[in-house]
Amino acid sequence: MSKINDTYDKTISKSYDCSLNQEIFSVTRSSCLEQIKEIYDKYQPIKTLDLGVGDGQYIEKLSKYYTNIEAHGIDSSSEMLKKALYKESFNGVKGKIEESGKYFKHRYFDLINAHFICCYVGLDEIFKLSDNLLNKDGVISLCTSTHDSWSKIQAHMKNHQGSNNTIRKLLFKYTNYISYNNNQSPRSHEEIVSNAESHDYSMIMCKKCTIRQTLHSVDEALAFFIKGSWGAHSYRLPYWMLQLLTKHAFSDIEFPFTDNHKISICTFKKNREI
C-alpha cells in the first residue's frame, strides 16, 4: 500500500468533506459541468471515467444532469471509493490511475475527469493515459490548484528559514521538500497550457478562478488544512504532526487570515485524428 493510499484510507476518508470548502468545490464543480454542457447535448449517453474519483461528488452532479450517463471511476483508496459506491449504477474500480489501461476499454470514453489529482499523478501521466482511453472526439476535464496558490502563507513559511527556532526551521525544510519534490501540481496556469500542447492537446475551454479563503482561527486553519483543500494530506504526516505544523505556521499570523487559492478549470481535446 502506498503512503498516499494509506493516508486516504486511514485519515482523509474519515473527514473528507467538500462541504467544508463549499465555495471552492461548488465553484469548480459547476464550472466543470458548464464546460461539458457546451460540448455534449443533455441526452447523449456520455461514457465518462473519473480518475481519482474520491467520494464521487462530481460524478453525482454529472449524473443529475446527464441522467443516462455511463459512469466509471478509479481510486486507489478503498475507503474513499466506498463513499462513491453507494451511487447506483456507478462502476468504481479500486486501482492506480497510472494503471487505468488495465481496467478500462481502449479508447472507450467520451469524457475523462481529472479533478484535484495533479498533485499525485502529474499532467504528463494524465495526458498520456488519456490517449489510450479517450475515443476520437473525447475530451479531458481538468481541474487543479497550482503552486501559485496560497502565496501569502508560502511567503510566510519562507520566513521560517531564517528563524532561530528549530521547529520552525524544520517546518520550512519539510514543507519546501514536500511542495517541490513530491507535489506534482503544475507551477502555474501557463505550465498547464504548455504541457497540454506538448502532448498535442488543445485547450478548448478554460476558466481561471481565484478564490479568497478567510480563516478565523488556528482551529479553522487546521480543519481546512486537513480536510482536503490545502494539500496537507500530501504531507503524509500523522494528525498530531499536522496539528503541530499548522499551529506553528499560524502562530504569528493575525486572524482573520485571508489568502488566495488559484484553480484552473480546463477542457482539452486531442489535436490529431486518433
Ligand X SMILES: C[S@@+](CC[C@H](N)C(=O)[O-])C[C@H]1O[C@@H](n2cnc3c(N)ncnc32)[C@H](O)[C@@H]1O
* Distance of alpha carbon 114 from alpha carbon 133, whole angstroms: 13
- 73 in contact with ligand X (CB under 6 A): no
Q: Which of 54, 92, 138, 186 binds ligand X (CB under 6 A)?
A: 54
Residue 104's nearest CA partner among 127, 80, 130, 86 is: 130
Kindly tell me which of 96 and 189 has the beta carbon lying closer to ligand X.
96
Residue written as cell 484552473? 264
Kindly tell me which of 39 and 74 has the beta carbon lying closer to ligand X.
74
Kindly tell me which of 1 and 274 has the beta carbon lying closer to ligand X.
1
* Distance of alpha carbon 48 from alpha carbon 71, whole angstroms: 5
Q: Could you tell me if 117 and 97 are in contact, meaning their C-beta atoms sit under 8 angstroms apart?
A: yes
- 138 in contact with ligand X (CB under 6 A): no
Residues 2-41 that bind ligand X (CB under 6 A): 4, 8
- 228 in contact with ligand X (CB under 6 A): yes
- 121 in contact with ligand X (CB under 6 A): yes
Q: Cβ of 216: how many Cβ atoms within 10 Å?
A: 10
Q: Which of 69, 71, 117, 171 binds ligand X (CB under 6 A)?
A: 117
Q: Could you tell me if 56 and 39 are in contact, meaning their C-beta atoms sit under 8 angstroms apart?
A: no
Which grid cell is 238?
500523522
The footprint of ligand X (CB under 6 A) covers 4, 8, 52-54, 57-58, 74-77, 80, 96-98, 115-117, 120-121, 228
